[in-house]
Structure 1
């Protein structure tokens, strides 16, 4: 169904809103409860009063049997001019669906370090807010350097994330990823990896990471809800070690098994 969004909508004029991106297979959104929990919490955090049932209903209208990427956007709606509206309008909810392909799984990842920092002190650093210009500029830097994505550091020079993913480091049986206070998003697949890792014999550690930690790791990978796990092969043109391929494969298979159990299909086998 196609509908118009007002040019006065604050999501359009001010980036006043939040969003979520998820994978759907067989008409089932993988990790649906976690995705919607995070989206609703983000809306509350910026003061948007929206009913979860309205979001659920909008998501349901976008689900089909085809494998797809579901993006759900919630804005503060239309309101009179001014940064903080005296009388905010009804929230706008938009759900879009685009085809997804299993070819997105397992692609290697080349990173360059962005010059644009992530402000870990910002009140929206842990939210998927609509104002994504910093990440857009970082993605432009990556493209200009022939890389797939950019590694974003926070204002302290520590690892925050990539433009679209969380970052993990494997070293001597220890799995490390930046804690949320470093400015990264609470990724849904990030949480799943942290949940699944101990059963594979890995010690999990949410700890600050420096760029040098990536160069000295046994393996580095990035996670998000559309691509699951991508091994980082290079950083700033330097080849990173690949000494934990078996562990990465175990993590990848555990994620695929979780998706198959929830959605009824192995993501690798969908058409």
Structure 2
């Protein structure tokens, strides 16, 4: 079997997987996802990812997933795919329903799990531009990995059209929130900083681990503060990427600081 997926309890080839035309995830973006790193044939920090998924389900009023079922599903899919290093994405939607916004009861969620091999090349430094799109820090969706990603897609497309690699999103208050696919970390006077959750960033798994370790301190960052920063990185469950510029401000690369972060996040 090549490129298998796990779909609603069955492992099957990708080309045979089918999502129903009336699935609310397809039609309305009504669902959540988690992307997890796979190293040495195992999912990294699955309990953290599944806990965030469960919390997201509570926020969206989705039936809570059977976490033991998902754990076994991920194990079975990794075995079937023979993936050693790469990533695993788990998507859950509210399932099928009639036309209209209001869901009907009972709900039968659709669950899809896919794997992907690791990138062949390490991530290269990126240039960011501040987006005109804002992250609504007061929205309950700011803390979940929703399938409704259009603002991030549009911000990323506009950045690419300007010759940039990614976009930096601000909160409605004007404070720095995150990029389109990652949390942002800053280095200032040998201290690692990141925007607090009240400024709208996703509670990223890598971010939370760094905060709990004491390596990373939460503090609000305004655009005018960026000129005081020495270095910056984008971080998510899969990667740590240096930032070389934000708008007109150039940032240095700190090999020592990069090594500290990398050794903590992705130990060999």
Answer yes or no: same fold by TM over 0.5. yes
Q: CA deviation at 1:237?
A: 4.4
Q: Residues 222-241 of structure 1 correspond to what in structure 2 (within 5 A)?
A: 222-227=234-239, 229-241=240-252
CA distances 1:144-182 after superposition (whole Å, capped 9, x unpaired):
111111101111111010000101111113221111111
- 1:247 matched to 2:257: yes
**Which residue of structure 2 aligns with residue 269 of structure 1?**
none
- Aligned with 1:12 (options 13, 26, 33): 26
CA distance, structure 2, for counterparts of residue 53 and residue 80 of structure 1: 30
Out of 171, 180, 190, the residue aligned to residue 163 of structure 1 is 180
TM-score, normalised via structure 2 length: 0.87
Following superposition, the deviation at residue 26 of structure 1 comes to 2.4
Contact 2:130 2:246 in 1 (8 A): yes
Distance 2:138 2:38 in 1: 33
1:93 aligns with 2:111: yes
SS in 1 for 2:217: strand
Residue from 73, 94, 105 that aligns with 1:58: 73
Shift of 1:256: 2.3
Counterpart-to-counterpart distance in 2, 1:126 and 1:138: 19
2:126 is equivalent to residue 115 of structure 1 = no
- Whether contact under 8 Å (2:83, 2:117) holds in the other structure is no
Q: Secondary structure at the match of 1:167?
A: strand
Report deviation, 1:123: 1.3
> Quick one: higher RCO (CA 8 Å, sep 6+), 1 or 2?
1
Question: In the alignment, what sits opposite 1:141?
Answer: 158
Contact 2:169 2:178 in 1 (8 A): yes
Q: Output the aligned Cα RMSD.
A: 1.7
The C-alpha deviation readout for 1:14-35, integer Å capped at 9, x for no partner, is: 1110001111122201111111
**Which stretch has the larger CA shift, 129-138 or 150-159?**
150-159
| Shift in alpha-carbon separation, 1:192–1:103, aligned structure 2, 3 A | farther
1:218 paired residue number: 230
Gaps of 5+ in 2: 1-11
Q: Provide the TM-score with structure 1 as the length reference.
A: 0.86
Cα deviation, 1:26-68, whole Å, max 9, x if unaligned, reads: 2201111111111121112111112223322332232133322
Cα distance in 2 between the residues matched to 1:194 and 1:248? 16
Tell me which protein shows more strand as a share of its residues.
2
**Which of 89, 101, 112 matches 1:83?**
101
Q: Deviations for 1:49-91, whole angstroms, at most 9, x for unmatched residues?
A: 1222332233223213332221100111111222222314311
Is 1:32 the counterpart of 2:46 in the alignment? yes
Three-state SS of the structure 2 residue aligned to 1:23 is: strand
- In the aligned structure 1, how far is the partner of 2:162 from the partner of 2:47? 38
Cα distance in 1, alignment partners of residues 226 and 249 from structure 2: 11
Aligned length: 250
Paired residue for 1:185? Answer: 202
